[in-house]
A and B are shown apart, each in its own frame.
Chain A
């Protein structure tokens, strides 16, 4: 996995890197101000920015944002721990693989949003249904990454650890888990993106709070500037989460060349 890192020559490179974004923002503003598109369909960006400031000042954005982050964070954490453990135990144990492997293959391609009504039926409108949805939806990419990574563990490393006195569980923790990490981390990146999709869509459909709920509520009330402000906030949080995640992974895997 290669990550394009911002180079050392700072300000100018950052400008070049995000120039397309700036042009897009200017084009947006111009299209709306010059009435090339209806300002209902695309309110001017400056109005959106103002609506954003108001949403922050009223506390709505922060309250709903925290609620959404809690759901995504909890669901994702469960998915990483559960999915990682499942993938690793499938790789080290034939019986576990034989029992659970077909189930993983069966559920992997299923559109996870189909689970939204199911988790609501089980757990209602609150946090629980969102957390379980994100857990179930994000688990399998992590499982498959962990399985592939663990499956490729070097036999000689396993034997080395065993011959130095590591019992089986110890060896799995010390050798199989670190061997699985690069591919497991790729699975987590997929899961991270998936968690935002599932979070917002489930909150849009059935929720009393959260960013998705706020988008739906503002849209239904015709506050399009504010709605766009929340949509952009979600997009920015997603982008930021991915960048922070990539930096953390690069650090965790710095032992590779």
Chain B
């Protein structure tokens, strides 16, 4: 590929320091290049440090060893070029849907009318027309994640960092949200890093899947996926099923290792 990498992670190590107990090596010598406008999934067993890697790219955690650069500049903190969607939705519970979506827009120098128009457009896009004045506590999990998605898309970040965004949703809602995310991605073509432990989700959504090892997390291998998402029967094709199998075996080895390493 001649595309230059937009996000470059080089030799990153990170220690997790719990309030009590010994520090743990969470990431060991991780290197990764993410191309502009690509959809990359970070797949690994729980506790492998994939969220930590995402938070480092987001600029939320200090980089201890190694380098991370975004658009050629070293990461020195969070910024609106990298929009984040969390599993816990992270909506402001004291703000209505409309005010939540407006939040990122209010941090930019936009005229008031344009902010309102944009917010409404993204509320409509995720199908929440009519819920503008609801508070998050009045919404279902799926609706909350739609608000979170609308809020992040509204301020138009060039990259989306998604931390198991559909992990807290029921199976039907999750499947629906996956198709909607793909539709949005195909329209907007943002760079996406999508953390998940769901093999099927990774194969379906991503163009490339980076498989991580059990703790300490390293990039075990990167697998090309990139199926034709417009085919509604893609899940049933031989190639798709084989790819899920291949990745499932890679992840299962690591999950087993993670279990064996767990203190008794």
- The CA of A157 and the CA of B55, in the complex, are separated in Å by 13
Does B172 sit at the interface, judged by CB under 8 A?
no
Give the size range of A's interface with the partner: 10 to 19
Does A255 sit at the interface, judged by CB under 8 A?
yes
Q: Are A164 and B155 in contact (CB under 8 A)?
A: yes
Does A236 sit at the interface, judged by CB under 8 A?
no
Which one of B78, B80, B84, B93 has the highest number of Cβ atoms from chain A below 10 Å of its Cβ?
Answer: B78
Which one of B84, B90, B93, B135 has the highest number of Cβ atoms from chain A below 10 Å of its Cβ?
Answer: B90
- The CA of A156 and the CA of B60, in the complex, are separated in Å by 10
Q: Are A154 and B78 in contact (CB under 8 A)?
A: no
Which one of B94, B95, B104, B135 has the highest number of Cβ atoms from chain A below 10 Å of its Cβ?
Answer: B94
The smallest C-beta distance from B135 to any residue of chain A, in angstroms, reads 5
1/0 per position for A217-240, CB-CB distance to B under 8 A? 000000000000000000000000
Chain B residues within 8 Å of A161, by CB: 92, 103
Q: Are B92 and A163 in contact (CB under 8 A)?
A: no
Q: Are B88 and A164 in contact (CB under 8 A)?
A: no
Known: A156-B86, A163-B82. A175 touches B108 (CB 8 A): no
Q: Are B78 and A255 in contact (CB under 8 A)?
A: no
The smallest C-beta distance from B220 to any residue of chain A, in angstroms, reads 27
Does B58 sit at the interface, judged by CB under 8 A?
yes
Chain A residues within 8 Å of B108, by CB: 165
Does B74 sit at the interface, judged by CB under 8 A?
no
- The CA of A174 and the CA of B107, in the complex, are separated in Å by 12
Q: Are A159 and B92 in contact (CB under 8 A)?
A: no
Q: Are B78 and A162 in contact (CB under 8 A)?
A: yes
Known: A165-B104, A166-B107. A255 touches B90 (CB 8 A): no
- The CA of A160 and the CA of B60, in the complex, are separated in Å by 10
B interface size (C-beta, 8 A): 26
1/0 per position for A90-128, CB-CB distance to B under 8 A? 000000000000000000000000000000000000000
The smallest C-beta distance from A107 to any residue of chain B, in angstroms, reads 27
Enumerate A134-175 residues with CB–CB distance to B below 8 Å. Answer: 154, 156-157, 159-166, 170, 174-175
Does B127 sit at the interface, judged by CB under 8 A?
no
Nearest CB in chain B to that of A165: its residue: B107
Does B11 sit at the interface, judged by CB under 8 A?
no
The smallest C-beta distance from B192 to any residue of chain A, in angstroms, reads 15
- The CA of A157 and the CA of B60, in the complex, are separated in Å by 12
Q: Are A165 and B80 in contact (CB under 8 A)?
A: yes
Does A12 sit at the interface, judged by CB under 8 A?
no
Q: Are B94 and A154 in contact (CB under 8 A)?
A: no
Q: Are A163 and B84 in contact (CB under 8 A)?
A: yes
- From B79, B88, B94, A163 is in contact (CB under 8 Å) with B79
Q: Are B103 and A162 in contact (CB under 8 A)?
A: no
Does B129 sit at the interface, judged by CB under 8 A?
no
Which one of A161, A164, A257 has the highest number of Cβ atoms from chain B below 10 Å of its Cβ?
Answer: A164
- From A160, A166, A181, B86 is in contact (CB under 8 Å) with A160
1/0 per position for A35-55, CB-CB distance to B under 8 A? 000000000000000000000
Q: Are B137 and A156 in contact (CB under 8 A)?
A: no
Does B77 sit at the interface, judged by CB under 8 A?
yes
Does A82 sit at the interface, judged by CB under 8 A?
no
Q: Are A156 and B135 in contact (CB under 8 A)?
A: no
- From B60, B103, B104, B137, A257 is in contact (CB under 8 Å) with B137
Q: Are A154 and B88 in contact (CB under 8 A)?
A: yes
Nearest CB in chain A to that of B93: its residue: A255
Enumerate B95-115 residues with CB–CB distance to A below 8 Å. Answer: 95, 103-104, 107-108
Nearest CB in chain A to that of B107: its residue: A165
Chain A residues within 8 Å of B59, by CB: 163
Known: A165-B104, A256-B93. A159 touches B58 (CB 8 A): yes
- From B90, B95, B103, A159 is in contact (CB under 8 Å) with B90
Enumerate B37-90 residues with CB–CB distance to A below 8 Å. Answer: 55, 58-60, 77-80, 82-84, 86, 88, 90
Q: Are A164 and B107 in contact (CB under 8 A)?
A: yes
Closest 5 CB pairs of A and B: A165-B107, A164-B104, A156-B90, A162-B78, A163-B78
**16 interchain pairs, CB-CB under 8 A:** A154-B90, A156-B86, A159-B78, A159-B86, A162-B60, A162-B77, A163-B80, A163-B82, A163-B83, A178-B92, A255-B93, A255-B94, A255-B135, A255-B137, A256-B137, A257-B137
Interface residues of B (CB under 8 A from A): 55, 58-60, 77-80, 82-84, 86, 88, 90, 92-95, 103-104, 107-108, 135, 137, 151, 155
Task: Other than A163-B83, A164-B104, give 15 A-B pairs with Cβ distance below 8 A.
Answer: A159-B84, A159-B86, A159-B90, A160-B84, A161-B103, A162-B78, A163-B78, A163-B80, A165-B79, A165-B107, A175-B92, A178-B92, A255-B94, A255-B95, A256-B137
